[in-house]
Amino acid sequence: MKKTIFAAALVLGFGAIAHAADGKYQVGVGLFDSLPMSGDFKDGVKSSLGFNAYGDYKVTDMFSVGVEIGDVLGYPIKADTSIKLRTLSYGVRGKIVKPMDFGSKKGNVYGIVGVTNDRWSVNQGSESVTKVGYNAGLGAQMEVSANWLVGLEVRYHIFKTDVGGENMTANSLAPALTVGYSF
């Protein structure tokens, strides 16, 4: 599965470079707060800040595909905050986009789904495991100047992991602020 996700990311990435003159691309970054939402994970860790970077290709006016990489900077373990559970992920994503106006500003609202390969580690890599995760969410972006967009997004992430020798469902809710550039 890792090889499939990596191959898809490469194909999408190199395909995007070939058509950059078409004005169908968006690159951007996001800052999010990952809030634990399920069982042992919610009971065992605190929320963590994280960031992501993405590149999207607009296939049609209503559909885009892309790649992304993200880093949750470290969920502090509630019992011992010197121990942190960190997640580094990369994957592919798809968006269904609806253009709309926000007053005098152009923008869009969208639904987003993704599949990621997530490397979970304890205290910056002393112990790690890699698992596939899934996410789905909603977002909105508004153009603030020519080609620049700011947005709000919220995604629900679904993971199963066994880092630390314990099997757990590590679902999280991640509200985010995004900044993107279209070309």
pLDDT per position as a tens digit, 68-102: 999 999 999 898 878 888 889 999 999 999 999 99
CB-CB contact of 70 with 55 (8 Å): no
Number of domains in the chain: 1
Domain that holds residue 24: 2-182
CATH number at residue 96: 2.40.160.20
Task: For residue 62, give the DSSP letter.
Answer: S
Q: Which amino acid is at 50?
A: G
Q: What's the rounded mean pLDDT across residues 6-33?
A: 67
Q: Alpha carbon 24 to chain centroid distance?
A: 20
Q: Does residue 15 carry a pLDDT above 60? A: no
Q: Which amino acid is at 128?
A: S
Which residues, at least 6 apart from 18, have a Cβ–Cβ distance to it below 8 Å? Answer: none
Summarised one tens digit per residue, pLDDT across range 152-164 is: 999 999 988 776 6
- pLDDT computed for residue 21 by the predictor: 43
Q: What's the rounded mean pLDDT across residues 106-128?
A: 87
